[in-house]
Structure 1
Amino acid sequence: MALHSDFTRLPIAHRGLHSKGVPENSLAAFRAAIEAGYGIELDIQPAADGTPMVFHDYDLNRMCGDEGFIADMDPEDLAELRLDDGDEAIPTLEETLREVAGQVPLLIEIKDQDGRMGKMIGELQDRVAALLEGYDGPVAVMSFNPHAVKALAAAAPEVTRGLVACGFEKESWPMLDDDSRAELASLSDFDRSGAQFLSHDWRDLDNPAVAELSGRGVPILCWTVRSAEEENEARRVAAGITFEGYRP
């Protein structure tokens, strides 16, 4: 299925429209995005039993002040934690789908479960696919890991899927060797993964591989712009933006 036009018509709020007192990837941030008329980008990590949880990091320290890892905890225990010392809990994807209910476009990123963008991805994309059965509204799923994108295409061919990418600089991706970083940055896995759109780091939109995909008619989204100036530059290439820290 082609990428819904709302993903380029509406700016997408990075991890929801979060702000002071409204934590990222919380139901409150998603409600704020809906009220403001923005789309929503969110991240998925698995709980210990595989339940898709809406959470960005692998560990719980930054957002919950806990030294554990989200994949080691059951959903019931995660439900007791609070985001940013506030009132908001870590939502499940199921809860989030009920909350959003097709009101705005929903861009779901499945975080890499291999650790090095390899094939050991587990079943997270299958669990996400199952939850999206019958979901009524514009939705797309993406991942940095091309193997996860390919597995999603097999599990749910009717769900729009995309590849997330960037320049894969060594400083930001120390777990990858030079060859892996170069291959990922070249976007050579785009077609093999079955991706239907690209969400690319706005700072690397001059990558020739991005231009090649755009020339073929592939929808290009970008992340994460943080000012009107950055947005103006990004929109020279990207049809849609994921934003944070200002209002487009």
Structure 2
Amino acid sequence: MTPELPRAFLDVPIAHRALHDITQGRPENSRAAIRAAIKAGYGIEIDLQLTADGQAMVFHDYDMTRLTGQPGPIRRLTAAEAEAVSLLHSDSEGIPTLAEVLNMVAGQVPLLVEIKDQDGGMGTDVGALEEAAAAMLSAYDGPLAIMSFNPNSTAAMARLMPDVPRGIVTSAYERSNWPLSQAVRDHLRDIPDFDRVQASFISHEWHDLNRPRVQELKARGVPILCWTIRSPEQEAEARKVADNVTFEGYLAAHSA
């Protein structure tokens, strides 16, 4: 049976990569951004990447240059080495492990965990990051949901953690934004894997929310989250379809 997405994920706006703001010394997916989101009462979305020694780290990019100034893929570092790499625009803060972030959040706000595609082409070569994540998440006590752009990753989490709600991150898959083959983009765009992977929800690219397939899922009662909202005006437009928003660059309003 597919687990339901807890109501908390629909009631509380979700801070994209936590409540980051580099002007305030809070890089994305950082401890400082996570603390700020908790203090403000927002849900938190984080990203996971895998290290050379099979540990789940809270980090978005495959290559570390943009976020640390140090070139090269995080996959080539051990967890200890990654923790020692300082994030740009921080007070010498290193890359956090998933275990540390779980201890920080500790159920205080909803936690939405995105597992980054490890196949490289949204294919079936997945498993190591999902297993590392499940090992840490299995003992977590608090509102939790897991998602991935790669439906095969979502399916793996359904096997590993059948009681935790999981979703597919979905998109218009425009060619200019996705270094994938046309066949893969055309396949993923229509979200055909939703039932196969026993997904509980989707998180869709906000400006594509009027897509018929999204409307069809909504009519079925599937919760619709969206990404990434960057202004109150975008939020107002997105909420005509979406049940909740993932936001950055402004402070989303809490429900009355």
Please classify the TM superposition score into its range, dividing by the shorter chain length.
over 0.9
Structure 1 residues 153-174: Cα deviation after superposition (integer angstroms, max 9, x where no partner): 0111011100001000101112
Partner of 2:112: 107
Q: Does 1:89 pair with 2:116?
A: no
Shift of 1:229: 0.4
- Distance in 2, matches of 1:86 and 1:32, equals 14
- Secondary structure at the aligned position of 1:23 is classed as coil
Q: Does 1:17 align with 2:19?
A: yes
Q: For the residues of structure 2 that align with 1:177 and 1:206, how far apart are their CA atoms?
A: 24
Kindly state the Cα deviation for residue 60 of structure 1 after the two structures are TM-superposed: 0.7
Listed as ranges, the matches of 1:150-229 within 5 Å are 150-174=155-179, 176-229=180-233
* Whole-angstrom distance in 2 between the partners of 1:79 and 1:211: 42
| 2:171–2:208 CA contact under 8 A, matched in 1 | yes
Aligned partner letter, 1:165: T
SS of equivalent residue, structure 1 residue 192:
coil
Corresponding position: 1:235 with 2:239? yes
Aligned pairs for 1:120-131 within 5 A: 120-131=125-136
Structure 1 distance, partners of 2:42, 2:88, is 23
User: What do residues 64-114 of structure 1 show as CA deviations (whole Å, max 9, x unaligned)?
Assistant: 111121000011111111111532111000000000000000000000000
- State the alpha-carbon separation in 2 of the partners of residues 3 and 207 from structure 1: 22
Q: What TM-score results when the alignment is normalised by the length of structure 2?
A: 0.95
Amino acid across the alignment from 2:186: A
* Unaligned runs of at least 5 residues, structure 1: none
Partner residue, 1:116 = 121
The residue that corresponds to 1:140 in the other structure is 145
Q: Distance in 2 between matches of 1:30 and 1:54?
A: 11
One-letter amino acid matched to 2:18: G
Deviation at 1:122, TM superposition (A): 3.1
Q: Name stretches of at least 5 consecutive residues in structure 2 with no aligned partner.
A: none
Q: Secondary structure at the match of 1:158?
A: coil
2:27–2:89 contact (8 Å) kept in structure 1: no
Deviations 1:178-226 (A, max 9, x none): 1211110000111111111000000110110000100111000000000
- Residues 1:4 and 2:6 are matched in the alignment: yes
Paired amino acid for 1:112: D
Distance (whole Å) between structure 2 residues aligned to residue 221 and residue 122 of structure 1: 25
- Aligned partners of 1:68 and 1:132: how far apart in 2? 27
- Deviations 1:13-50 (CA, angstroms, capped at 9, x unpaired): 00010112111101110000000110000100001111
Q: Partners of 1:96 and 1:34 in 2: how far apart?
A: 12
Report the Cα distance in structure 1 between the residues aligned to 2:61 and 2:130, rounded to whole angstroms.
17
Q: Which segment drifts farther, 78-87 or 207-216? A: 78-87
Aligned-pair identity in percent equals 54
* Number of residue pairs aligned between Structure 1 and Structure 2: 247
- TM, length-normalised to structure 1: 0.98
**Equivalent residue number for residue 40 of structure 1:** 44
C-alpha distance in 1, partners of 2:195/2:8? 23
CA distance in 2 between counterparts of 1:30 and 1:128 reads: 18
> Are residue 98 (structure 1) and residue 103 (structure 2) matched?
yes
Cα offset, 1:62, TM superposition: 0.5
SS of residue matched to 2:203:
strand
Q: Which runs of 4+ in 1 moved over 4 A?
A: none
Shift, 1:134, TM fit: 2.4
